[in-house]
A and B are shown apart, each in its own frame.
Chain A
Amino acid sequence: AQRVTQPEKLLSVFKGAPVELKCNYSYSGSPELFWYVQYSRQRLQLLLRHISRESIKGFTADLNKGETSFHLKKPFAQEEDSAMYYCALSASSGGYQKVTFGTGTKLQVIP
């Protein structure tokens, strides 16, 4: 079974401070990890995936298989980063992918 844990429901940081949103997962196979974001009154949207190893809006995330973690980081928080962030794991089964989401962390950037 696959599981995604986001231990913080709310994370408040000041503008310009570093951000780290925690995500831990459990999965026996080789996972694909993602971060999704939902801004106020907008749809859930893909932020980044670990395979692409890219930086989106200044955010990065590194897959640590030893610690089974995929924390989302940004060196300097901006007010527009305030949103709900969901960590997600995609596992293949029979050639099809099933995505499991964490419970989400609300990031609040204080001006």
Chain B
Amino acid sequence: DAGVTQSPTHLIKTRGQQVTLRCSPKSGHDTVSWYQQALGQGPQFIFQYYEEEERQRGNFPDRFSGHQFPNYSSELNVNALLLGDSALYLCASSPSGRGYEQYFGPGTRLTVT
């Protein structure tokens, strides 16, 4: 089991563009959470997906949206990118009923210019 995988590793976008980040959870995990980690900060919760639905959401605007597929993999979409969206985006998966037991991916480094 490769654990949680994320793609791409890093990417550069221009203000106003849209981006899609992808995450495959650890085998046996059905819950996926997304976090934004700005430089020097702790991870900030964006949202959580379970059974293909958004179950929890942090204080992020509607420009941030997501999706979970039947195989539990997930996407994070960010529209109308701002310079302040530059950060490391982390995906974490957890088994059903044990949301605290989060396994993190390596992250996607997004740079908005």
Contact B45 A100 (CB under 8 A): yes
CB-CB contacts below 8 Å: B29-45 with A: 33, 35, 40-45
Known: A34-B100, A43-B104, A44-B104. A101 touches B55 (CB 8 A): no
Question: 0/1 per residue, A36-69, Cβ < 8 Å to B?
Answer: 0000000111100100000000000000000000
- Of the listed residues B41, B50, B99, the one surrounded by the most CB atoms of chain A closer than 10 A to its CB is B99
Closest to B55 in A: A96
> Which among A14-22, A71-79, A86-94 touches the partner chain?
A86-94
Interface size class of B (residues with CB under 8 A): 20 to 34
- Residues of chain A within 8 A (CB-CB) of B103 are 45-46
Contact A101 B42 (CB under 8 A): yes
- Residues of chain A within 8 A (CB-CB) of B92 are 44
Query: Total number of A-B contacts with CB less than 8 angstroms?
Result: 58
Contact A86 B106 (CB under 8 A): no
- Residues of chain B within 8 A (CB-CB) of A26 are none
**Cβ of A6 to closest chain B Cβ, rounded Å:** 8
Query: Given the complex of chains A and B, what is the CA–CA distance between A94 and B50 in angstroms?
Result: 13
CB-CB contacts below 8 Å: B77-113 with A: 90, 92, 99-107
**Cβ of B43 to closest chain A Cβ, rounded Å:** 5
**Cβ of A109 to closest chain B Cβ, rounded Å:** 21
- Residues of chain A within 8 A (CB-CB) of B40 are 9, 103
- Residues of chain B within 8 A (CB-CB) of A34 are 100
- Of the listed residues A96, A99, A104, the one surrounded by the most CB atoms of chain B closer than 10 A to its CB is A99
Give the contacting residue for B43; candidates A6, A45, A46, A86; CB below 8 A. A86
Listed by A's residue number, 9 A-B pairs whose Cβ atoms lie within 8 Å are A32-B100, A34-B100, A43-B105, A43-B106, A94-B55, A96-B56, A98-B45, A101-B35, A101-B45
